[in-house]
Amino acid sequence: MTFGKVTGTVVASQRSDEITGLKYLLVRSCNEKGDMGDDYLVALDLVGCGRGEMVLLSQGSSVRQTEVTKQKAVDCVIVGIVDLVEKQGKVVFRK
Amino acid sequence: MTFGKVTGTVVASQRSDEITGLKYLLVRSCNEKGDMGDDYLVALDLVGCGRGEMVLLSQGSSVRQTEVTKQKAVDCVIVGIVDLVEKQGKVVFRK
Amino acid sequence: MTFGKVTGTVVASQRSDEITGLKYLLVRSCNEKGDMGDDYLVALDLVGCGRGEMVLLSQGSSVRQTEVTKQKAVDCVIVGIVDLVEKQGKVVFRK
Amino acid sequence: MTFGKVTGTVVASQRSDEITGLKYLLVRSCNEKGDMGDDYLVALDLVGCGRGEMVLLSQGSSVRQTEVTKQKAVDCVIVGIVDLVEKQGKVVFRK
Amino acid sequence: MTFGKVTGTVVASQRSDEITGLKYLLVRSCNEKGDMGDDYLVALDLVGCGRGEMVLLSQGSSVRQTEVTKQKAVDCVIVGIVDLVEKQGKVVFRK
């Protein structure tokens, strides 16, 4: 898993088989301390996270393995809200 | 998922098990604001999108998980047409 | 999917469970116009393509989803022979 | 698989379906000799490893294939503690 | 698939569910001619290859699809020993 911060929302619709728009979260990559990087990803939220929170991202086909994402063409999900990161005995991030 | 813009079509045929050509879409990568990048990908369209539209792309084996792509060797699909991207409270893209 | 051009063949054998050598194709990456890049990949041919043809490559675990590749440890297959690429209304590649 | 060294822990919670926080390990990439690189990953520990140990990391959807990770959206696990690395007849790493 | 050369072995143990150490191969990336690159990977050997041999590597979740790797968290396997590489009519590698 990698780290990211929730920075916005993406609304997308599907003309073919669904009428209602789906809401995804816009996530910016960050390092283990929470310092933000340059990459943005669109992720499905499995954990109920809020704006600005540091989250754990799981990418690739592993993301199908939950009740929510089963049978959906989703390749990036938020699997947890980061509460604390400890590195060589020091707390480098705390929520 | 990542962002892309539909910029063309790709027609490809299979000599082995199918006679008819298959139509794929040529998609150019873009950022969350819709500014286009340098990469081109070929994607299967699951949502019925049109030329120039900003779309959400799902890559990897997750793309098998729909009725259309099941049992097909496809590694990139368009899963939604982007209607709106909101970033830190500001709308940075609107269709 | 991405673009490639068939540039050669690779013969590989397996000491453990098969006696006969397997034939794979050597594929060089190219862009949507057919201009060749620097990367070479080894792919399994699912469509019966010939030397010099521009093809569509599917990578990752999606490639297991066909009769041929089922239960094989293959991570790159040729899924189609490119007949035509149209980009913003102009034909940029024709076979 | 690739090499990494265990450098810390990450505590993450899920608001949606679990109350208790989950513990992941913070792993820093390293080469075959154990020289550390710049990348940090968050991995699930399948083998019971300790701080500072050099480990083997398996990434992608392959990580679902164990009893522990089954049905979990996990994309990086520690599959073994490295005891010895031999390269062209010389031992370049020993635990 | 990509090319690599077998350059050593990696012994790794699992404290949790297995006592015996597992043997993996250390593989160095190479190009289609066998010229070695800078990257090292750890792969499971499915074909019985020896030191210095040029091999075909399959990465990602596709590697679960064999009897040996089924239900194992392995993301890189050696699927064949390269006997010959032919590129635009010329043999560029022969075992």
Residue of B nearest to C56 (CA): B12
Q: Which residue has the higher pLDDT, D24 or A14?
A: D24
**Measured between CA atoms, how close is A49 to chain B, in angstroms?**
15
Query: In this structure, what token pair is assigned to residue B51?
Result: 């030329």
pLDDT tier, D21 (very low <50, low <70, confident <90, very high otherwise) = low
- In a 10 Å sphere around its CB, with 0-12 CB exposed, 13-18 middle and 19+ buried, how is residue C24 labelled? buried
pLDDT digits 0-9 by tens, A33-87: 999 999 999 998 878 888 999 999 988 754 444 555 544 667 888 888 999 999 9
Distance CA C1, CA E34 (A): 27
Q: Is pLDDT of D19 > 50?
A: no
- Look at residues A29, C95, A31, A61 and name the one whose alpha carbon lies nearest to residue D62: A61
**Measured between CA atoms, how close is A1 to chain B, in angstroms?**
15
pLDDT digits 0-9 by tens, E8-27: 999 988 765 454 556 799 99
Distance CA E13, CA E17 (A): 10
ipTM of the complex: 0.84
Give the closest of B22, B40, B72 to C65, CB-based.
Answer: B72
How many Å separate Cα E15 from the centre of its chain? 25
Contacts of E37 (CB under 8 A, 6+ apart): E28, E29, E30, E31
- In a 10 Å sphere around its CB, with 0-12 CB exposed, 13-18 middle and 19+ buried, how is residue E36 labelled? middle
Touching subunits of D (3+ CB pairs, under 8 Å) are A, E
Q: Is A66 helix (H, G, I), strand (E, B) or coil?
A: coil
Pick the most confident of B61-75, C39-53, D70-84, E63-77. Answer: C39-53
Residue A27 has a pLDDT of 97
Q: Do B1 and A43 touch (CB under 8 A)?
A: yes
Q: Which residue has the higher pLDDT, D45 or A2?
A: A2
pLDDT digits 0-9 by tens, B3-59: 999 999 999 887 654 545 567 999 999 999 999 999 999 998 878 888 999 999 988
pLDDT tier, C8 (very low <50, low <70, confident <90, very high otherwise) = very high
Q: Is A1 helix (H, G, I), strand (E, B) or coil?
A: coil
pLDDT tier, A19 (very low <50, low <70, confident <90, very high otherwise) = very low
Residue A64 has a pLDDT of 47
Touching subunits of A (3+ CB pairs, under 8 Å) are B, D
Judge contact between D36 and D19, C-beta under 8 A. Answer: no
Q: Is B30 helix (H, G, I), strand (E, B) or coil?
A: strand
Q: Which chain B residues are closer than 8 Å to C85 by Cβ?
A: 8-11, 26
Q: Do B85 and A15 touch (CB under 8 A)?
A: no
Judge contact between B18 and C88, C-beta under 8 A. Answer: no
Q: Which chain D residues are closer than 8 Å to E42 by Cβ?
A: 1-3, 56
Query: A 15-54 residues with CB below 8 A of B?
Result: 15-16, 21-22, 24, 26, 40-43
3-state SS track over chain C: CEEEEEEEEEEEECCCCCCCCEEEEEEEEECCCCCEEEEEEEEEECCCCCCCCEEEEEECHHHHCCCCCCCCCCCEEEEEEEEEEEECCEEEEEC
Note whether A85 contacts B: Cβ–Cβ < 8 A.
no
Q: Is A62 helix (H, G, I), strand (E, B) or coil?
A: helix
Q: Which domains does chain C have, with CATH numbers?
A: 2-94 (2.40.50.220)
Contacts of C58 (CB under 8 A, 6+ apart): B73, B74, B75, C1, C76, C77, C79
Q: Is B64 helix (H, G, I), strand (E, B) or coil?
A: helix
Q: What is the mean pLDDT of residues C25-36?
A: 96
Query: In this structure, what token pair is assigned to residue B4?
Result: 């892309």
pLDDT tier, B69 (very low <50, low <70, confident <90, very high otherwise) = low
Touching subunits of C (3+ CB pairs, under 8 Å) are B, E
Q: Which residue has the higher pLDDT, E84 or A17?
A: E84
Alpha-carbon Rg for chain E in angstroms: 14
CA distances from D66 to A26, D22, D62, D69, D79 (A): 31, 18, 9, 6, 10
Residue of B nearest to C66 (CA): B71
- Look at residues B27, E55, B62, E87 and name the one whose alpha carbon lies nearest to residue D64: B62
Judge contact between D29 and D37, C-beta under 8 A. Answer: yes
**Measured between CA atoms, how close is B85 to chain A, in angstroms?**
5
Q: What is the mean pLDDT of residues D52-56?
A: 95
Q: Is pLDDT of D79 > 60?
A: yes
Judge contact between A4 and A29, C-beta under 8 A. Answer: yes
Q: Is pLDDT of C68 > 70?
A: no
Residue E26 has a pLDDT of 97
**Measured between CA atoms, how close is A84 to chain B, in angstroms?**
23
Q: What is the mean pLDDT of residues D7-17?
A: 80
Between β-strands C54-59 and D2-13, what pairing exists: parallel, antiparallel or unpaired?
unpaired
Residue E77 has a pLDDT of 85
pLDDT tier, D64 (very low <50, low <70, confident <90, very high otherwise) = very low
